[in-house]
Amino acid sequence: MDPLSIITTLWRHKWVTLPVVLLTIAACAYTYFFAPRTYEAHVSYALAAPKVPSSMELEKDPELAKLNSDNPYLRSYDSSLLAQVVITKLSDPAYVAQLKEAGFGTDFKITPVSSLGMGLVTVSAASTSESGAVATARLIGEQFASTLNSVQKVNGADDRYLYTPIQVLGPGPAQELFSNRLRSLIMVGIAGSILLFGSVSLARGRTIRRQGGGTAKALTTRTGRRAYNPVSQQGSTGQFPSSMSVPAAGPQLAHNDENQRLVAAGDRAPGR
């Protein structure tokens, strides 16, 4: 259907179209102005590498040489392995369940800053309130720092040989995720469009059926009986029923019969 036909159909069924359109507009307005909002807060940490003592420093300070330097993550080229281990631990469903039981939000993510690799990690937390988003981001950030410290001490390494998280951002005021509001608005609009075209289709179908019934009734009233179909009256023998009357001869046929009788009477007349 072309756009003009669609508009014409909608206007023809305006008493169905207008209520659905008004309802959709009201639902969109409510979603935009009054529906629950989603806020997000961030906290970022830089992973500072430990200052490993040189051989000369160890010789000069015997006490320094006695410290446990067995941090397995120092054998990695950078801090990416350590950050991935911490992210995996904090993504465990058991930890998420603990957050939910404590009344915190469970919508969070821990990601590295793409331009800096694993040297800078950002914790993001979302909630339906600004305070909830900030509290969740702060808690996840603290858990990130403590987990970062604990996984490095698997072999009892001294603090001098550990990566240190340095907070560089947040958790500041939470910002609203406008994309979520826009997404909800689009979903309401799509639902309203489906309802509109469904209602108009039903109304159009009822109109067509009503018009068809009215036409059949008008034909029946005008003729007083059903239309006669000789073919449908034939029996299995291919002949018409005996009850059917043969149409009467027309005027021309009657005139020809009268002429034939006159000619025959003249031939029988005496003297001829």
pLDDT, tens digit, 9 for 90 and up, residues 72-86: 988 877 778 888 899
Task: Say how many residues make up the chain.
Answer: 272
Percent of the chain as helix, strand, coil, to the nearest 5: 60, 10, 30
Instruction: Name the residue type at position 22.
Output: L
Distance CA 232, CA 220 (A): 19
Distance CA 209, CA 203 (A): 10
Supply the pLDDT for residue 272: 46
Helix axes 3-12, 178-223, angle to 10 degrees: 70
C-alpha distances (whole Å) from 26 to each of 22, 23, 233 are 6, 5, 62
On whether the CB atoms of residues 85 and 151 are closer than 8 A, the answer is yes
What is the distance of C-alpha 8 from the center of its chain?
A: 29
C-alpha distances (whole Å) from 116 to each of 86, 111, 123 are 18, 11, 15
Supply the pLDDT for residue 144: 93
Residues 138-190: pLDDT tens digits?
A: 999 999 999 999 999 989 999 889 999 999 987 878 888 888 888 888 999 99
Supply the pLDDT for residue 162: 92
Residues of the chain with pLDDT under 70: 1, 114-118, 213-272
Using a cut of 0.85, tell me whether the model's pTM lies above it.
no
